[in-house]
Structure 1
Amino acid sequence: MTFSGEPIVRIVDASIFQEDTTVLNNINLKIDKGEFVYLVGRTGSGKSSLLKTLYCDLPLHMGSIRIAGFDIENIKRNQIPLLRRKLGIIFQDFQLLPDRNVAENIYFVMRATGWTDKAKMKSRLAEVLMRVGLGSVSSKMPHQLSGGEQQRVVIARALVNEPSLLIADEPTGNLDPEVSEGIFKTFLEINKSGTAILMATHDFKLIENYPKRTLKCEKGFVIDSANPVEKA
């Protein structure tokens, strides 16, 4: 696959911090529009800190990062929601609202990102649920769904604003292998439609079966690995 135009992510001479501790040093890399990239490394190696910096949950104190058209070293607080509308963020622990059904969980994000037309919201809800294979669960509560179904709802929620980049932090970490592969194939379909994906994972079986470009957090650095199945 060939890519053209401005990368969706460009990082230049950036260091990533947790409070006063440097966790990753001197990162220089780019992720192109439509690319699929794994992020691997031992627990505590800085994977989640890097992802949190990309969506401005951690501040960037050193270097520069341009993501989805925003320079986050200079980003203003009121611009962060605008950036996040261009990103889909997927967590290992789902973070669904337990007292709201599937539809309301997705509507909550839609309202928070500026949707107001109820007819358009209903149509988009149906679209994203069908896209992840959950066309008939909109009225169910999160506790009525399996773990795999809950993660598909999270993916649907992340797709609402047609993001140019999905950031996924261990999205299959709490799922059994068969369910994990089904979820991963959903990511592949999303990627085929042109959405770039950056996925942190410990699931080396998936990486072996579906090799892609791999970034490894190791000893305070991010290594663009030529061997996608090498274990940290």
Structure 2
Amino acid sequence: MFSETPVVSLQNAFIYQDSKLVLTDVNFTINKGEFVFLIGRTGSGKSSLLRTLYADLWLQQGYANVAEFEIHNLKNRDIPFLRRKIGIVFQDFQLFTDRSVNDNLKFVLQATGWTDKARMKSRIAEVLMQVGLSSSIDKMPHQLSGGEQQRVVIARALLNEPQILFADEPTGNLDPVVSEQILKTFHEINRAGTAILMATHDFDMIRKFPARVLKCENGAVIEQTSPTYGL
């Protein structure tokens, strides 16, 4: 039986970028299997919020629980264990340019404790099939288009079967047609049971793929209930 515990829960959380307070008294939950867009102007705190949730920034005040890890009490040594329960998709890919797709993915598995070569090979094949890149396993990143590289990044984020994917402007460097393909991939992943929190400026995509929307505005995170999402 599935746990009803939210995969993300924040209570009275204050989000800082270094010493600068960017979001005040943040309260929201994301349930398992939920898809949520995170919107807001540049500099409104979207990236800082995401970075806090995957423990790249410390939560200095308030409560946050992500994938059953208490972020406000997290020790440095526990961060790798949190990262095995979540997936992170960056706008700028952050692939090793001197390694093949296979070796990029194998590196993550090895870094998160996988040792069985047959299981690693099988899992890499599974995630590449999931994002439609089975035939690109031996290619180098420079041999792939921007959209294909982002699919590798998504595959990398899926390797450890995360409870939630955090995606920071994943279509920001892609053209509209490729962006829509990437959003469809995210929705297929979501339908398979993985929760997603996606920061985006792409309001056309939100209209095409409607979901719950959280908005960073004036130092707060609010539920966006209006059918129009423009800023």
Matches within 5 A, 1:74-223: 74-223=73-222
C-alpha displacement at 1:19, in angstroms?
1.4
TM-score, normalising length from structure 2? 0.98
Inter-partner Cα distance in structure 2 for 1:77 and 1:27: 23
Q: Report what 1:227 is aligned to.
A: 226
The number of equivalent residue pairs is 230
Q: Does the residue aligned with 1:88 lie in a helix, a strand or coil? A: strand
Segments of structure 2 that go 5 or more residues without pairing to the other structure are none
Q: Percent identity?
A: 64
Contact 1:213 1:228 in 2 (8 A): no
Matches within 5 A, 1:9-24: 9-24=8-23
Inter-partner Cα distance in structure 2 for 1:228 and 1:27: 23
Inter-partner Cα distance in structure 2 for 1:126 and 1:228: 40
**Deviation digits for residues 166-218 of structure 1 (CA, Å, limit 9, x no counterpart):** 00000000000000000100000000011000000000000011111000000
C-alpha displacement at 1:4, in angstroms?
6.6
Q: Does the residue aligned with 1:108 lie in a helix, a strand or coil? A: helix
Paired AA for residue 64 in structure 2: I
TM-score, normalising length from structure 1? 0.97
Structure 1's 151 and 228: CA in aligned 2 closer, same or farther, altered over 3 A? farther
Inter-partner Cα distance in structure 1 for 2:121 and 2:23: 42
Calculate the aligned-residue CA RMSD, in Å. 1.0
Inter-partner Cα distance in structure 1 for 2:189 and 2:228: 23
Inter-partner Cα distance in structure 2 for 1:7 and 1:228: 25
